[in-house]
Amino acid sequence: MTGLKNYVIGAGLGLALAGAAAAQETIKVGVLHSLSGSMAISETTLKDVMLMLIAEQNAKGGLLGQQLEAVVVDPASDWPLFAEKARELMTVSEVDVMFGCWTSVSRKSVLPVIEELNGLLFYPVQYEGEESSKNVFYTGAAPNQQAIPATDYLIDELGVEKFALLGTDYVYPRTTNNILDSYLKGKGVAAEDIFVNYTPFGHSDWSKIVADVVALGADGKKVGVISTINGDANIGFYKELAAAGISADDIPVVAFSVGEEELSGLDTSNLVGHLAAWNYFQSAEAPINAEFITKWKAFAGENRVTNDPMEAHVIGFNMWVQAVEKAGTTDVDAVREAMYGLEVPNLTGGTAKMLPNHHLTKPVLIGEIRADGQFDIISQTEPVPGDAWTDFLPESAVLEADWAELDCGMYNTETKTCVQIKSNY
């Protein structure tokens, strides 16, 4: 019996070791997006596109001879939970890379964890800038690739003279509006012609705020709204605009966080003509975009739409695959070094390039909302290099990020020193 017992134990141990080896034969990709809570309206689709991209790569044979395995978690629109889930992905699931976050407060929550553990995050959403971490690649727009060009459009093309800066109360809207306030005043807009208001996530009663925006134009000057409202609060905001009878001709709104996914849940008939500024729209006419839309609808359903942060994940994922192949490993330091200068097609027919400051080159698009919830692209630039540090705040204008040559994300060009920490709160 002793021999048989030893055989059974040995066989069991052998199977366990074989199972452990098999478990290590996949390259694990962490997907860190809210699937519940106020941000699920925007983030669920990003989880879905990551699953599609991973499935496509596996169909091509995987990466470095291994299949990719998606490890999906739900931080549930709970900002501290993002940090916990990121730590779980890296220490328990042992992922090789993470794609995730939407709000800047969720990214800020994750940042100290990935820097401590030397993880790698691809962040796909437009944001306030004022950051360049060694452990993050920012594939969404910096302010000079969205907020500044959109503001110029309101002034130059629509004749807006007064500005309502409406945002959700967290770091992205506050920092972006701080930049825009400085930018507008630099262009001669008086302080009293700038109205700033912040509301909590999920805010639903917009009647007084919309009334205040209308009152801003009581002197006859044209008012425009710059919206950094995030998540499902947009539903109530646009409904209140419609209820108040405000058209885009009266008070144009340019949104930085409203795309096709958010509009798919709204009656957009009264929103025709309002604007959004992104680097991609589903309506972009390019063969590569038509192919992507076809694949997406086949994967996710005929009624599903595409949007800008999805394109950012496509670009980021394809760059990560290229960098892993170039480095011959998923090691974070090696992959990071391999990322600089990589170029991949974007979905508008051009090329995205990864810069040493961990930001991309991106075209700036202005779109008008159509009755069907899509956008007519009314303005498009050549690719603009993303700027980690804005030129419109004095303390940031002297900073630059360069991880390739300077090994620094916050280099002071006046003192010639690298500053390690800066709080954006």
Supply angle C-alpha 115, 117, 122, rounded to 5: 60
Q: Does 8 score more than 50 pLDDT?
A: no
Mean pLDDT of 408-420: 94
What distance in Å separates the CA atoms of residue 317 and residue 311, rounded to the nearest whole number?
A: 10
26-141+287-360 shares its CATH topology with 145-278 = yes
Q: Is the pLDDT of residue 2 over 80?
A: no
Average of pLDDT values for 310-316? 98
Question: In the numeric block, which tokens belong to residue 188?
Answer: 């001669």
Which pLDDT score is estimated for 269? 79
Judged against a pLDDT cut of 70, whether residue 42 lies above it is answered with yes
Helix (H, G, I), strand (E, B), or coil: what is residue 307? coil
How would residue 43 be classed by pLDDT, with cut points 50, 70 and 90? very high
| Half-sphere CA count of 69, side-chain side, radius 13 A | 14
- The answer on pLDDT for 266 being more than 90 is no
Is it true that domain 145-278 has CATH number 3.40.50.2300? Answer: yes
Higher pLDDT pick, 236 / 113: 113
Whole-angstrom CA distances from 231 to 29, 56, 68, 84, 204 are 25, 29, 30, 22, 11
SS3 312: helix
- The dihedrals phi and psi of 409, each to the nearest 5 degrees, come to -100, -5
Indicate whether 115 pLDDT > 60.
yes
* Domain edges within the chain: 26-141+287-360, 145-278
C-alpha 122/C-alpha 100 separation (Å) is 6
Q: Which CATH entry fits the domain spanning 26-141+287-360: 3.40.50.300, 3.40.50.1240, 3.90.1170.40, 3.40.50.2300?
A: 3.40.50.2300
- In the sheet that 121-123 helps form, which strands lie side by side, from edge to edge? 68-73, 27-32, 97-100, 121-123, 136-138
pLDDT class for 112, splitting at 50, 70, 90?
Answer: very high
Report the DSSP pairing between strands 223-228 and 162-168: parallel
Q: What is the per-residue DSSP string for 15-72?
A: HHHHHHHHHTTSEEEEEE--SSSTTHHHHHHHHHHHHHHHHHHHHTT-BTTB-EEEEE
187-219 pLDDT, tens digit per residue, is 999 999 999 999 999 999 999 999 999 999 999
Task: Indicate if the pLDDT at residue 81 is higher than 70.
Answer: yes
Q: Tell me the C-alpha to C-alpha distance, in Å, between residue 267 and each of 109, 150, 257, 358, 362.
A: 34, 24, 17, 38, 30
Going along 220-308, which residue ranges are E strands? 223-228, 253-255, 275-278
CA atoms within 13 A on the CB side of 425: 6
Instruction: Decide if pLDDT at 23 tops 90.
Output: no
Q: What are the start-end ranges of the E strands in 169-293?
A: 194-199, 223-228, 253-255, 275-278
* Geometric angle at alpha carbon 123, from 122 and 129, rounded to 5°: 130
Would you say residue 3 has pLDDT above 70?
A: no
Q: Are 381 and 368 in contact (CB under 8 A)?
A: no
